[in-house]
Amino acid sequence: MSEDRRLMVLRAIVQDYVQTSEPVGSKALVERHHLGVSAATVRNDMALLEEEGLIHAPHTSAGRVPTDAGYRVFVDRLSAVKPLGQGERRAIGQFLQGAVDLDDVVDRTVRLLASLTRQVAVVQYPSLTRSTVRHIELVPMGSSHLMIVLIVNTGRVEQRVVDTGRVLADATGEALVASIRSRINEVAAGVPFTVAATRLRRLVGEADEADRAALEAVVSALGDALVEEREERVVLAGQANLARAGADFPRSIGPILEALEEHVTLLRLLGQLGDDPELVSVRIGSENPVTGLQSTSLVSMGYGSGSERVASLGVLGPTRMDYPTTMASVRAVARYVSEILDENQAT
């Protein structure tokens, strides 16, 4: 018995099951795929595949269904990522080109992914931790308040309002603001967050008595913004696609929707990518540590400007999904988004 043929059978089972969503039997298999053997032979192979835990029969007399392990073998050894068509690629590029700012890029991306794959799309905002400060702007507001606007190299903008406890509207006040502005930009602009945070703290130590309080207020607010855990955000789209594929989920889709609202765990999931950031990562069913998502698969990939991977995006669907096509879409979108960020970076 050739191992090769057994794998061919597995591949055929996966393909048929993905297409029809019904357990596939030996007879149907030999009809639809031209394996050069009879149904009985296929049955023997199936028995072995079942022993290996790659397929499984829902009950004694139904066809076979791939197990999570079966999909794993399929993804790793039996399928090639099928490249997207020319037209499709161009459509992606054009759709994303129109974006006007970072929010818009993320928003468009997540919708694009959802409609492309007809599944739930997840896009993580570029993380701050690996980012650098581009510029910090101070805007006086009211008599003693200051709005701090932090501009990040990924195009993201954070803002905070602090009370400096000093009158800023007069000439001395304006001079103070200008001085603080230039001092903090001098040490922080163009520098990674972690470095910026320590340098800013040092700056406070060196300041003379008069400015100390105001500078301290600004720096502490900036420090908050720099370490802020809310920095990590995700955006979702295509939840409706879950309902469409409702039959694929043993229980209802409720637990899945719940899991999707736990952005924190979603982020952790997206963070755990495979070894090679250039590769699409696939987590299948029970490989997935999150309760509620164990009947789903997550296809994800990192993206970012330059060679730096600043965040991830992906697609979540039933384990019974068309892996090659989905992987192709995710990869293509991740690359386009990276390109867009690169361009923004350059400006």
Binding site for its own copies (CB under 8 A): 100-101, 104, 134-135, 137, 139, 141-142, 145, 147, 149, 151, 157-161, 163, 224, 228, 230, 237-240, 242-244, 246, 252-255, 257-258, 260-261, 344, 346-347
Least distance CB 238 / DNA (angstroms)? 29
Measured from the CB atom, is 43 or 183 closer to DNA?
43
Number of residues in contact with DNA under rule CB under 7 A: 27
- Contact, 330 vs 117, CB < 8 A? yes
- Interface map 28-67 toward DNA (x if CB under 7 A): x-------xxxxxx-xx-xx--x------x-xxxxxx---
Phi, psi of 80 (to 5 degrees): -110, 145
Ranges of beta strands (E only) in the chain are 55-56, 65-66, 120-124, 133-141, 145-152, 157-163, 234-237, 281-284, 296-303, 311-318
3-state secondary structure of 24: strand
Position among 21, 27, 227, 272 found at the interface with DNA (CB under 7 A): 27
- Contact, 273 vs 302, CB < 8 A? yes
- Contact, 320 vs 111, CB < 8 A? no
User: To 10 degrees, the CA torsion angle through 147, 149, 150, 153?
Assistant: 180
Work out what residue 64 binds among DNA, its own copies, none; the CB cut-off runs from 5 to 8 Å by kind. DNA
3-state secondary structure of 205: helix
Least distance CB 251 / its own copies (angstroms)? 10
Work out what residue 343 binds among DNA, its own copies, none; the CB cut-off runs from 5 to 8 Å by kind. none
Least distance CB 225 / its own copies (angstroms)? 9
Footprint of DNA (CB under 7 A): 1-2, 5, 23-28, 36-41, 43-44, 46-47, 50, 57, 59-64
